[in-house]
Homo-oligomer: A and B are copies of this chain.
């Protein structure tokens, strides 16, 4: 049995509040256990220089963590004067994942910026950011349809993400922080509704792992992502 009493293939309790923010074109507050991420999608006219006059749009993401999201306080990145490597890595991952499932050629020359800010962190903040970020993105697309800036919101395929790990010789779904810090392997998986892999990032933190282990973890991830996508659809009223 796991630290918090869950089964190996059981996710933490998840809730999603749609559009908690008054001004953002789309937003979502996702809570996966004690991990809480506020995701906001902002639409801006125009695209980065390399897309000028392409007719297509762009999606990008930024990630941050409030200083006291964590067990002990982390220094504020704005005060340190730079974003750390972990932050940059995560926000690049979120951006790639959401671009990968969206047909940006249909977006027109608009940029959607997804801000994922972690209010509280108990493991899995990057995967919660992707899962919640998709909802914020969809809400923003609906807003654009409402503003006649887009003909349909259905330009993005559902995508969600989970972490899986190997702990005590067992594959576990949706690691909390304490499990994550003890796991031998940490695997983050981003998948679509149809089971396509968007991103996979696995690290043998303490020692290498076998392909058999990876397969077991991917099976867990696939099941977890299915349930996450169902939850997203429900939240989106689809």
Contacts and interface: CB of A to CB of B under 8 A. Distances in A.
B196 A199 contact: no
Interface stretch (A3-11, A147-155, A203-211): A203-211
Given A77-B78, A120-B21, A204 B214 contact: no
Interface string A187-198: 000011011111
B73 A79 contact: no
A96 interface: yes
A130 B44 CA distance: 33
A40 B23 contact: no
A87 B78 contact: yes
A62 B79 contact: yes
A115 B197 contact: no
B115 A76 contact: yes
Interface in A15-58: 21-24, 27, 34, 38, 40, 42, 44
A207 B73 contact: no
Contact of A204 (B42, B83, B196): B196
Nearest to A25: B68
Contacts of A199: 202-204
A108 interface: no
Majority SS of interface residues in chain A? mixed
A70 B23 contact: yes
A64 B85 contact: no
A122 B80 CA distance: 27
A207 to B, nearest CB: 7
A19 to B, nearest CB: 12
A14 interface: no
B207 A196 contact: yes
Contacts of A139: none
Contacts of A88: 84-85, 88-89
A-B CB proximity, top 8 nearest: A196-B208, A85-B88, A77-B78, A40-B68, A42-B73, A78-B78, A200-B202, A24-B68
Given A68-B115, A100-B203, A196-B210, 16 more contacts: A21-B119, A38-B66, A38-B119, A40-B67, A44-B73, A62-B67, A73-B113, A76-B78, A77-B78, A78-B78, A78-B83, A78-B87, A84-B88, A85-B92, A197-B211, A199-B203
